[in-house]
């Protein structure tokens, strides 16, 4: 007697819509901080250097959570882990919305960092429940919505903070996250658990935390310690020490937090490096362009409000949201490498053009929109190329590594740009000099262009 096999479970538009809404809402909650930093500095009575800890804290927490989320999703089922992770994010949003002071707000930002796990867990689900070609498009769609959500957060942060309060700025996206999570729980099938394994690698998590914190803290205080080389050397030694210990521990761990062995898969380490470098360039533009909108210097800058800045960034929102689906279709037709190379070349050229041409609003608006599109193409191409190069059971781990590179690159780009502006700020007027913006765009363009060299190694590695 022949046994009839049940047809494979497929997810439809309601499930994809719920995942997309969740991606948008979490990214909005992540991004509302940056444009509202001056307001938070005034209300919390803190310096710009201290206020910068808020977005960096979220990025660092996200970099730590992302690989753990991907691994646990592969092991225990992505839906189960996603639901629990979103409960942590919702708690973080609530704490941030009710925070009366900086320490409590920092706690909320740490909890919100768990939102970075939404992407690898979503990738696991769509790859399990969609055919390979549709899965590539779905990954591009979710990635594009996550990127676009970041621009939505930038767009609405000013009106919410200035029109309502900083509490509403965190509270409203949190309500959307709760609603989207409930919808995903109802419409998404429960995926079975994968391979069994050990628990969380706490030593690895602690050492990676130390590496990230020492690196970001060193960059943040660089303008103040620039004249004290002994302190700089000490910070470098501490960072290298944490990083070296992390690698040694992870190589010996039975169930490492970050599976460094995965980097030996064809194209993996180069995908991570390319993603990191590209995100350094794109994050630099994300920081510098709004700052140039808001500053009012002698012959440069425009001195406009946070609300007006959000409106000027609307074209970037559109191109960011479109970049994921465009990249998904392009990768399916041309492959991930040509799409990544095209995006890198366009972004590097645009950054260098902005270094010379930023005297008119339209130049910054168009340049930022092009950079947003190019960055989305690059990151999505790296993610889709990575998911196609590893076994299905390793999807969460592999994409987690790439997303960690994205978070680290974004944090480095923001912090490095902030250091350049701080170093060039007039001590009397407090206005950053135009040279800081020019140098920031030039360095971002040069750094982005170097990823083309990494791509050459990646192509040879994959061919071998």
Model confidence at 111: pLDDT above 80:
yes
Sign (positive/negative) of CA torsion 412, 267, 136, 186?
negative
Question: pLDDT category, 160, cuts 50, 70, 90?
Answer: confident
Confidence grade of residue 315 (pLDDT, cut at 50, 70, 90) = confident
Work out the average pLDDT over 432-449. 86
Task: Give the range among 260-274, 310-324, 360-374 with minimum mean pLDDT.
Answer: 260-274
pLDDT at 136: 66
- pTM, to two decimals: 0.68
Give me the helices (H) in 32-131, please.
Answer: 37-44, 48-51, 53-76, 78-98, 102-112, 118-129
CA–CA separation, 152 vs 165, rounded Å?
A: 17
Give the pLDDT band (50/70/90) at residue 460: low
Q: Is the pLDDT of residue 114 over 60?
A: yes
439 is written with which tokens?
């140098």
Domains, the chain, ranges and CATH?
13-188+259-463 (1.20.1250.20), 202-258 (no CATH)
Residue 223 confidence (pLDDT): 57
pLDDT above 60 for 227: no
Q: At what angle do helices 118-129 and 395-423 cross, to 10 degrees?
A: 150
pLDDT of residue 326: 80
Instruction: Give the model confidence (pLDDT) of 28-51 as tens digits.
Output: 877 777 677 767 767 777 655 566
**432 strand-pairing partners:** 425
Look at the alpha carbons of 68, 404, 114, 194 in this order and tell me if their dihedral is positive or negative: negative
- Rounded-to-integer distance, Cα 439 and Cα 404, Å: 27
Tens digits of residue pLDDT in 48-68: 556 666 777 777 777 777 767
Tell me the mean pLDDT in the region 287-310. 76
- State what percent of residues in the chain have pLDDT above 90: 2
pLDDT at position 5 over 50: no
Among 203, 284, 191, CA closest to 246: 203
Per-residue pLDDT tens for 270-282? 777 777 888 888 8
184-224 pLDDT, tens per residue?
778 777 766 655 555 566 777 778 777 777 776 666 666 55
Which residues, other chains included, contact 368 with Cβ-Cβ below 8 Å and sequence gap of 6+? Answer: 285, 286, 289, 313, 315, 316
When mean pLDDT is compared over 140-154, 213-227, 289-303, the highest value belongs to 289-303
């Amino acid at each position: 007697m022949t046994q009839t096999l049940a047809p494979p479970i497929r997810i439809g538009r309601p499930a994809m819509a719920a995942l997309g809404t969740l991606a948008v809402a979490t990214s909005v909650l992540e991004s509302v901080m940056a444009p509202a930093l001056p307001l938070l500095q005034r209300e919390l009575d803190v310096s710009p250097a201290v206020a910068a800890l808020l977005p960096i804290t979220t990025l660092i927490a996200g970099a730590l959570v992302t690989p753990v989320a991907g691994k646990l999703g592969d092991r225990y089922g992505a839906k189960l882990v996603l639901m629990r992770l979103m409960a942590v994010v919702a708690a973080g949003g609530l704490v941030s919305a009710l925070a009366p002071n900086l320490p409590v707000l920092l706690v909320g930002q740490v909890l919100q960092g768990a939102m970075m796990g939404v992407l690898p867990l979503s990738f696991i689900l769509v790859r399990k429940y969609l055919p390979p070609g549709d899965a590539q498009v779905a990954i591009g769609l979710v990635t594009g919505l996550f990127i676009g959500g970041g621009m939505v957060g930038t767009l609405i942060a000013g009106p919410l903070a200035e029109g309502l309060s900083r509490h509403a700025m965190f509270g409203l996206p949190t309500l959307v996250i709760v609603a989207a999570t409930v919808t995903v729980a109802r419409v998404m099938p429960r995926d079975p658990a994968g391979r069994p394994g050990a628990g969380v690698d706490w030593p690895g998590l602690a050492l990676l935390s130390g590496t990230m914190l020492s690196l970001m803290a060193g960059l943040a205080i660089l303008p103040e310690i620039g004249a004290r080389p002994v302190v700089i050397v000490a910070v470098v030694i501490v960072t290298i020490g944490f990083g070296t210990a992390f690698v040694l521990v992870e190589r010996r761990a039975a169930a490492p937090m970050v599976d460094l062995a995965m980097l030996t898969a064809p194209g993996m380490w180069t995908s991570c490096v390319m993603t990191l470098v590209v995100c350094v360039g794109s994050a630099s533009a994300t920081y510098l362009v709004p700052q140039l909108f808001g500053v009012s210097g002698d012959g440069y800058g425009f001195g406009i409000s946070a609300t007006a800045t959000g409106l000027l960034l609307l074209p970037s929102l559109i191109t960011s949201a479109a970049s994921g689906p465009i990249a998904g279709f392009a990768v399916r037709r041309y492959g991930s490498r040509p799409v990544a190379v095209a995006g890198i070349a366009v972004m590097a050229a645009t950054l260098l053009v902005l270094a010379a041409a930023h005297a008119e609003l339209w130049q910054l608006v168009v340049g930022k929109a092009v950079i947003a599109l190019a960055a989305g193409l690059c990151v999505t191409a790296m993610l889709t190329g990575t998911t196609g190069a590893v076994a299905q059971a390793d999807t969460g781990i592999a994409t987690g590594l790439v997303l960690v590179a994205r978070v680290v690159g974004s944090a480095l780009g923001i912090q490095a740009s902030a250091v350049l502006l701080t170093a060039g700020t007039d001590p009397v007027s407090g206005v950053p000099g135009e040279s800081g913006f020019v140098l920031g765009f030039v360095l971002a363009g040069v750094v982005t262009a170097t990823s083309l060299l990494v791509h050459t190694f990646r192509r040879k590695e994959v061919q071998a």
